Amino acid sequence: MLDTNVFTALSLPPCSSRLKEAPMQHARPNRLGRVAAFAVLAVFLGVVALTLSQCTMVGDSLTGVDLSKGRPTTCIKQCNDLYAMLYDNEQKLYAQNKEGCLQLSQPAKDQCLAAELARHQAKMAELGQAKIDCQNNCHHQGTGSSG
C-alpha cells in the first residue's frame, strides 16, 4: 500500500486522483508507407523474375549431362539406314556378277556361279555382323568414363 504522507509532503495529490485513464488509440494507418512497401516488393519480384529468365542452356561438355533425347535410337536408325543401303548395293553387285557368270560357257559358268554365291554369302554375313557392331556401339555412346 502506498504511503499518502509522501505525496502530501511533496504537495502532490495521490496517484488515483492524479492519473486519468484514457482509452488507447490505434495507430493511424499510414497508406503512403504501405504503398511504398508494396512498390518495393513488386520491383524486387520483377528483378528476380528477369534475372531468372535470363538463364541459357550449356553444352554437354560443361555439365556432363546428355541433353539430346533419343541419341541411341537415332544412332540405331543411322546404322539401320547405312546397312540397308550397303545390303542393297551388295544385292545389285551380286545380280550383276551373276549375269556375267551366266554368259560364260558351261564348265566356267558353274564355277563362276559357285564362287559368286560364296562371295555374296560371305559379304552378307560380314555386313550383318558390322550392323550388329554398329548398333551395339550406339548403346555405349555418351557414357563417359570415371577416374
146 versus 26: the higher-pLDDT residue is: 26
Q: Do the beta carbons of residue 15 and residue 2 sit within 8 Å?
A: yes
Instruction: Kindly report the pTM of this predicted structure.
Output: 0.47
Residue pair 21/33 in contact (Cβ under 8 Å)? The answer is no
Inter-CA distances, 58 with 6, 51, 66, 143, Å: 84, 17, 11, 18
pLDDT top residue among 144 and 72: 72
3 state SS of 24: coil
Looking at residue 29, the DSSP 8-state letter turns out to be P
Cβ contacts of 125-133, under 8 Å, gap ≥ 24:
127/83, 127/86, 127/87, 127/90, 130/83, 131/79, 131/80, 131/83
98-144 confidence digits (pLDDT tens): 999 999 898 889 999 999 999 999 999 999 999 999 988 887 655 55
122-133 pLDDT tens trace: 999 999 999 999
**In 37-129, where do the E strands start and end?**
none
Higher model confidence: residue 109 or residue 11?
109
89 or 1, greater pLDDT: 89
pLDDT tier, 147 (very low <50, low <70, confident <90, very high otherwise): very low
**Residue found by looking up cell 554375313 in the block:** 125
CA 130 to chain centre: 32
Write down the domain spans for the chain.
70-138
Whether the predicted pLDDT of 5 surpasses 80: no
What whole-number distance in Å separates Cα of residue 144 and Cα of residue 89?
35
CA torsion sign, 79 to 80 to 86 to 90?
positive
Task: Give percent of the chain above pLDDT 70.
Answer: 66
